[in-house]
Amino acid sequence: MEHLERADERVFRAVQDETARQLGQLEMIASENFVSPAVREALGTVFTHKYAEGLPGRRYYGGCEFADEVEELARSRATRLFGADHANVQPHSGAQANMAAYFAFIEPGDTILGMNLNHGGHLTHGSPVNFSGRLFKVHAYGVREEDGRIDYDQVREVARRCRPKLIMTGASAYPRTLDFGAFGEIAAEVGAVHVVDLAHIAGLVAGGHHPSPVPHADVVTTTTHKTLRGPRGGLILCRAEHARIIDKMVFPFIQGGPLMHVVASKAVALGEALTPAFRDYGASVVDNARALARALMARGVRLVSGGTDTHLLLVDLRDRDLTGKDAEQALERAGITVNKNTVPGETRSPFVTSGLRIGTPALTTRGMGTDEMKRIGGWIADILERPGDTARIDGIRGQVTELCAGYPLYA
Ligand SMILES: *Cc1c(COP(=O)(O)O)cnc(C)c1O
């Protein structure tokens, strides 16, 4: 980065500081990951210069032959990876992918059914502070208070009552396997379009560690930067019959020119996701999450649903005199980065909360395994027991730094 260093000292410094931060702490935010050097290199290429509105072979600009090539690679790898008929790789983000999916099928004022945000849903699934909550009539399903799992009878009952035009399946904080077949049946019964938002678990589905939604959904949206381990961005998969409308909703309805450097990088990441090494990676992500769950539960830490099938756990702090906000801060002091999260039945505000969301995708990319998860689980339990004991937390910080030094990011 010699050019950046010379041209803009302050931005260069911030990049150096951020690099050191990422290396020196335990990244356990469930939605984050570390991309490969190849994926990152593609992001810094000359494709950022190129306007390529339209689709491969049908562009509004000249000079698109190589843009066509990378976009075609990304599309064909995406459809092969997930077994889908059609892919649009242009959404700038997961939120954009969802917006395109909604407008492909419904109009403002129509009714949607999505997962309650406090139970693990996403803002774009009908929150009042998001376009989805402003434009659509929103009904929600949730999880059972007793076992933290989705109550499919309740989903069916709400769907029969509210007759949604579209059912949005998927979550940002649900640690258990989603039964896409059950959602698909309910959608068919009430005549709703079925959209699955795979943002968090796309990498697990790609590797065969979570059942695929593709046979049960009209459209599947996802981010590319979470477990899928690609650049920050979105992706839409759909049945052949919906290909035209989905493509038209991404451009020109909600977006302008695609970020071609990101599309090139998505192609690289999707290529990586097709390899046996990526399948192994996904298996380790889930093994690590289970090992972490066991270590925490052995120390009396309560988890929503009593464990995990995926890459994330949801700690329920309601049996303690500790908020999610304070727990997040205490862990951050120790160099363990997580996020506070609402839990089912939440009584506190989203800025305070009674839970923590913890994920293993990033540490697994760094090469850590179940032994490390056991140690980290012990540290987290120590801190949750005595969140005010700064001397003890600072001692753990030292051990975290040592552990990180053994797992360089780009070795
Ligand atoms: C992360 C996430 C999104 C949004 O992705 P952005 O790229 O941040 O817009 C959408 N849906 C779900 C379920 C998510 O977890």
Question: Which tokens in the block code for residue 182?
Answer: 């059950």
307-324 per-position pLDDT tens digit = 999 999 999 999 999 999
Choosing from 40, 51, 156, 382, which is the catalytic residue? 51
Residue of 131, 197, 235 best suited for mutating to test ligand 1, as the one with most atoms within 8 Å of CB: 197
Q: What is the pLDDT of residue 390?
A: 97
214-230 per-position pLDDT tens digit = 999 999 999 999 999 99
Angle between helices 152-162 and 180-190 (to 10 degrees): 20
What is the distance, to the nearest Å, from the Cα of residue 396 to the centroid of all Cα atoms in its chain? 28
Q: What is the pLDDT of residue 97?
A: 98
pTM assigned to the model: 0.96
Asked if the bond preceding 252 is cis, omega within 30° of 0, the reply is yes
Query: Which residues, other chains included, contact 299 with Cβ-Cβ below 8 Å and sequence gap of 6+?
Result: 377, 378, 381, 385
Instruction: Give the length of the chain.
Output: 411
Q: 90: Cβ below 6 Å to ligand 1?
A: no
Which helix or strand (DSSP H or E) is residue 153 part of? helix 152-162
Rounded to the nearest whole angstrom, what is the distance from the C-alpha of residue 79 to the centroid of ligand 1? 20
Place of tokens 């309910």: 186
Q: What is the pLDDT of residue 118?
A: 87
Instruction: In whole angstroms, give the CA distance from residue 334 to residue 402.
Output: 12
223 is annotated as an active-site residue: yes
Portion of the chain with pLDDT greater than 90, in percent: 97
Q: What is the pLDDT of residue 191?
A: 98
281 is annotated as an active-site residue: no
Degrees to nearest 5, angle at CA 330 with 16 and 360: 65
135-165 per-position pLDDT tens digit = 999 999 999 988 999 999 999 999 999 999 9
pLDDT, average across residues 1-26: 96
Is residue 271 pLDDT above 80, yes or no? yes
3-state secondary structure of 69: helix
What are the helix (H) ranges across 36-127?
37-43, 65-82, 94-105
Query: Which residues, other chains included, contact 126 with Cβ-Cβ below 8 Å and sequence gap of 6+?
Result: 112, 114, 117, 132, 133, 136, 138, 139, 140, 168
Mean pLDDT over the full length of the chain: 97
Q: What is the pLDDT of residue 398?
A: 98
Place of tokens 């909600």: 254
410 is annotated as an active-site residue: no
232 is annotated as an active-site residue: yes
Degrees to nearest 5, angle at CA 200 with 408 and 237: 120
Is residue 305 pLDDT above 80, yes or no? yes
* Residue having the nearest C-alpha atom to atom 4 of ligand 1: 94
Under 8 Å between Cβ of 182 and 155: yes
Instruction: In whole angstroms, give the CA distance from residue 353 to residue 343.
Output: 7
Choosing from 32, 53, 179, 287, which is the catalytic residue? 53
Q: What is the pLDDT of residue 409?
A: 85
Rounded to the nearest whole angstrom, what is the distance from the C-alpha of residue 132 to the centroid of ligand 1? 13
One-letter amino acid identity for 43? L
Ligand 1 atom closest to the CA of 98, numbered from 1: 10
pLDDT, average across residues 42-50: 98
Ligand 1 atom closest to the CA of 92, numbered from 1: 7
237-253 per-position pLDDT tens digit = 999 999 999 999 999 99
Q: What is the pLDDT of residue 145?
A: 87
Question: Which tokens in the block code for residue 144?
Answer: 């059972």
85-101 burial code (b ≥16 CB/10 A, e <16): ebbbbbbbbbbbbbbbb
Which helix or strand (DSSP H or E) is residue 357 part of? strand 355-359
pLDDT, average across residues 9-15: 98
Q: 93: Cβ below 6 Å to ligand 1?
A: yes
Q: 122: Cβ below 6 Å to ligand 1?
A: yes
pLDDT, average across residues 351-375: 97
Instruction: In whole angstroms, give the CA distance from residue 179 to residue 169.
Output: 9
Is residue 411 pLDDT above 80, yes or no? no
Q: Are strands 234-238 and 86-88 parallel, antiparallel or unpaired?
A: antiparallel
C-beta atoms surrounding 352 within 10 Å: 14
388-408 per-position pLDDT tens digit = 999 999 999 999 999 999 999
Q: 199: Cβ below 6 Å to ligand 1?
A: yes
Q: 357: Cβ below 6 Å to ligand 1?
A: no
Q: What is the pLDDT of residue 186?
A: 98
Is residue 410 pLDDT above 80, yes or no? no
375 is annotated as an active-site residue: no
Portion of the chain with pLDDT greater than 70, in percent: 100
One-letter amino acid identity for 259? L
Rounded to the nearest whole angstrom, what is the distance from the C-alpha of residue 76 to the centroid of ligand 1? 23
